[in-house]
Amino acid sequence: MTAEPRARVPRRPVHGVLLLDKPAGMSAQAAVSKVKWLLGAEKAGHTGTLDPLASGLLPVCLGAATKFAQVQLDADKVYEATLRLGVRTRTGDAEGEVVATAAVDPALLTPAQLHVVAQRFTGTIEQVPPLHSALKKDGKPLYAYARAGLEVERAPRAVTIHALTLTAVPDDPTALHLHVRCSKGTYVRTLAEDIGQALGCGAHLAALRRLATGPLQLAQAVAIEALEALPPPERLRLLRPPEVLLHGWPEVVLDEAEAGRFLTGLRRRGRWPDAAHVAVFGARPRALLGTARCVGGELIPIRLLAPTEIAQWLTQSTAS
């Protein structure tokens, strides 16, 4: 028996950010596609991939919000993870073939010893990207070389571990709980392997959950099952305005005449302090117009919303 085809949903302009609690076992792209279908949206993307093995926060950008997704792609992330000690795998996670095993010395898992190891990996460190990753070399993702059985040289990359805690798991002598706040580009899988090596027994990443990206928190997110259970109008009420992606940026507010000129791409003059990036709003009604930088009292556009996008968002937010 074949499954019934998915019902066709009419596409429409939908704008905003949905904070999704992605389940383990689903790719980030599949999760985005599911959200896009449930909302009937024309355009959707995310602010940074999350491996199928991982669960947790996946901000899904819809419509106009996709223009600012890069901001959160560059933001710090917070994860919690479970490491399996004494077992190394080919991929560094639970899905890979076991390549080595070793005994785990309980004396190395005391709070004092784990604090010492955590301090070793706090601050700016260098990581060698895993071969089973989407990072590209000579135009091909590294996992393509791995699948072909090829080993390729990967240059170490500097990342920043802002905070790291390691905690033994009661009643499970080969498990270790990890909580980390890190810069973009950090591979928690590699961090798990390096910690296992530092403990002398090896390790792999058994489970991973993203708790935050920039100011966006998992506690604010919705599960796919919960989203699917809602009537379509109530799904739209979960969307946050595109400016949540610009949280903490200085704001510039323009009157109607100046806003109109700014939206055509014209630079504006004003008494604004220099800033590498600002969020620009129209005053009445208050609405995000785009992003800019301020240099010498000049407001220089970077990314602009189209007037139609602004009008659609105002209508959508009023209706929901």
Are 242 and 288 contacting, i.e. CB atoms less than 8 angstroms apart?
A: yes
Average pLDDT of the segment spanning 45-65? 93
Tokens of 317: 């937010």
Active site residue 138: no
Are 104 and 201 contacting, i.e. CB atoms less than 8 angstroms apart?
A: yes
Q: Which pLDDT band, with edges at 50, 70 and 90, does 45 fall under?
A: very high
Which among 21, 51, 93, 194 is annotated as catalytic? 51
Residue 57 to residue 67: CA distance in whole angstroms: 19
The yes or no reply on domain 16-74+215-236 and CATH 3.40.1640.10 is no
Domain with CATH 3.30.2350.10 in the chain: 16-74+215-236, 77-213
Which of 93-107, 149-163, 263-277, 280-294 has the least mean pLDDT? Answer: 149-163
User: What is the percentage of the chain residues whose pLDDT exceeds 90?
Assistant: 79
Domain with CATH 2.30.130.10 in the chain: 249-319
The yes or no reply on domain 77-213 and CATH 2.60.40.10 is no
Which of 8-17, 18-27, 64-73, 275-284 has the least mean pLDDT? Answer: 8-17
Please give the mean pLDDT across all residues of the chain. Answer: 91
**What is the structure's pLDDT at 130?**
73
- CA 82 from chain centre, in angstroms, equals 19
188 three-state secondary structure: helix
**What is the structure's pLDDT at 23?**
97
Residue 13 to residue 62: CA distance in whole angstroms: 9
**What is the structure's pLDDT at 51?**
87
What is the rounded end-to-end Cα distance, in angstroms, of the chain? 40
**What is the structure's pLDDT at 47?**
87
**What is the structure's pLDDT at 1?**
45
**DSSP structure class, residue 197:** H
The yes or no reply on domain 249-319 and CATH 2.60.120.260 is no
Q: Dihedral of CA 270/273/274/279: which sign?
A: negative
